[in-house]
Amino acid sequence: MTGIYFDNNATTRVDPVVVEAMLPYFTEQFGNPSSMHSFGNKVGLAIKKARMQVQELLGAEHDSEIIFTSCGTESDSTAILSALKAQPERKEIITTTVEHPAILTLCAYLEKEGYKVHYLKVDGKGRLDLDEYRRRLTDQVAVVSAMWANNETGTFFPVVEMAELANAAGAMFHTDAVQAVGKVPLNLKDTKIDMLSVSGHKLHAPKGIGVLYLKRGTRFRPLLRGGHQERGRRAGTENTTSIVGLGKAAEMAMEAMAYENTEVKRLRDKLEAGILAKVPRSFVTGNPDDRLPNTSNIAFEFIEGEAILLLLNKFGIAASSGSACTSGSLEPSHVMRAMGIPYTAAHGTVRFSLSRYSTEAEVDRVIAVVPEIIAQLRKLSPYWDGDGPKEEAFAPTYA
């Protein structure tokens, strides 16, 4: 593999050990796990093993609480739609302004269908106001959905505490934990979290496999109906090879978690400090004291994120940006907007997300290259003059 890959919150490389574990299930272990014969039985046992591996990673009480889905988005949609159908008398949803589009787009659709959605605001560091949450949490709320860790900034929400409050109000609690799983120790059996979403490709398993954790006893209505797979909670022939891969990846994530929280975190901190020391008018967004160990979202003022990414790519460095122009919309990242990051910086944010494969040499290389790129783009910017922003403001016609 060539190049420096610092975009692990978008997707991770599939671990070679995971690939090896999957290979037999493309060839000799091809049976349908629902079949009664030995071909199917062997595959059925492999799925059972994967379910237990995921159960262990999540700290779930029962392996039957693990439902395999196709992705995090499917898990999110299943959780929220199920909660609404299971409690038809409750017509309100609580979520946050900084959720992934998998939640926000669904909520916008549900608003059109007549549900009331409360969007909890965040402060400048991306933190929730729990008093506001308590005020919104009435007996009309069917489900609360709050992410465990933000995909752009890595900032954590206090989901365990939020789940307790939701439970006390009789609302179901769902968390989109696709960024947190594998990086944060989880012990779901000791929480009031009813539902939790996992995405395989965020933890070195393949794309196209996800998990919905469903606490035993939680009322449930399936999204996909049909066969009896996943105990009738998610019909459709299982994506066997990917399920096996996810099981292996979950087992490996358990082993690597300490490394993620020490060595990966150290590399992330070194990267961040190195860039900030060399680049004026740059800062870290989100909550630096309580976030994922691998994530650093840095705002570079007066330049635009996509242009930074293109130049980084030229140097063989892959990162990500919440800038408008990477998505084709005209608005910068809704997460940056929600935190009140000014436009002068919100368009120029770059997310560096490391993994256990990241190396010191890669970090050193990025620290060396980034200041050069930022200086190059600022030379082109009408808002920048030499060493800092123009004193005489650039004021275009339709600013």
Partner 1 sequence: MWDYSDKVKEHFFQPRNAGPLEGANGVGDVGSISCGDALRLMLKVEPDTDIILDAHFQTFGCGSAIASSSALTEMIKGKTLDEALKVSNQDIADYLDGLPPEKMHCSVMGREALQAAVANYRGEAWSDDHEEGALVCKCFAIDAVMIEDTIRANNLSSVQDVTNYTKAGGGCSSCHEGIEEILVKVMAERGETFKPGAGTKEEAAPSGMTNLQRIRKIEAVLESVRPQLQRDHGDIELVDVDGKTIYVNMTGACSGCQMEALTLQGIQQKLMEELKEFIKIVPTKAGALTRASCHP
Give residues with Cβ within 8 angstroms of 171, minimum separation 6.
90, 94, 137, 141, 142, 143, 144
- Sole binder of partner 1 in the list 35, 259, 273, 394 (CB under 8 A): 394
Give residues with Cβ within 8 angstroms of 128, minimum separation 6.
96, 120, 121, 122, 146, 157, 158, 162
| Alpha carbon distance 153, 122 (integer Å) | 13
Residues in the chain: 399
- Sole binder of partner 1 in the list 332, 358, 367, 370 (CB under 8 A): 332
| Alpha carbon distance 79, 11 (integer Å) | 22
To the nearest whole angstrom, how small is the minimum distance from the Cβ of residue 394 to partner 1?
7
> Any contact of residue 307 with partner 1 (CB under 8 A)?
yes
Measured CA distances, 85 to 78, 113, 118, 142, 333 (Å): 10, 13, 18, 9, 31
**Segment interacting with partner 1, rule: CB under 8 A, options 23-31, 252-260, 282-290, 300-308:** 300-308
- Phi/psi for 40 (5° steps) reads -75, -35
Residue corresponding to tokens 């944010």:
349
- Sole binder of partner 1 in the list 324, 357, 365, 389 (CB under 8 A): 324
**Segment interacting with partner 1, rule: CB under 8 A, options 20-28, 51-59, 200-208, 323-331:** 323-331
| Alpha carbon distance 389, 345 (integer Å) | 12
- Sole binder of partner 1 in the list 89, 330, 386, 392 (CB under 8 A): 330
To the nearest whole angstrom, how small is the minimum distance from the Cβ of residue 347 to partner 1?
4
To the nearest whole angstrom, how small is the minimum distance from the Cβ of residue 125 to partner 1?
22
**Segment interacting with partner 1, rule: CB under 8 A, options 35-43, 166-174, 244-252, 296-304:** 296-304
In this complex, which beta carbon is closest to partner 1, that of residue 206 or of residue 305?
Answer: 305
To the nearest whole angstrom, how small is the minimum distance from the Cβ of residue 305 to partner 1?
8
Give residues with Cβ within 8 angstroms of 302, minimum separation 6.
281, 344, 348, 378, 381, 383, 384, 389
Is residue 15 a contact partner of residue 252, using CB atoms and an 8 Å limit? yes
> Any contact of residue 391 with partner 1 (CB under 8 A)?
no
Q: Which pairing describes strands 66-69 and 210-214: parallel, antiparallel, or unpaired?
A: antiparallel
Candidates 254, 276, 324, 325; catalytic one: 325
In this complex, which beta carbon is closest to partner 1, that of residue 166 or of residue 308?
Answer: 308
**Segment interacting with partner 1, rule: CB under 8 A, options 47-55, 164-172, 320-328, 359-367:** 320-328
Question: Is there a catalytic annotation at residue 107?
Answer: no
> Any contact of residue 148 with partner 1 (CB under 8 A)?
no
- Phi/psi for 247 (5° steps) reads -60, -45
> Any contact of residue 398 with partner 1 (CB under 8 A)?
yes
> Any contact of residue 395 with partner 1 (CB under 8 A)?
yes
> Any contact of residue 343 with partner 1 (CB under 8 A)?
yes
| Residues acting as catalytic residues | 325
Q: Which residues bind partner 1 (CB under 8 A)?
A: 302-307, 309-311, 313-314, 323-326, 328-330, 332, 343-344, 347, 379-383, 394-399
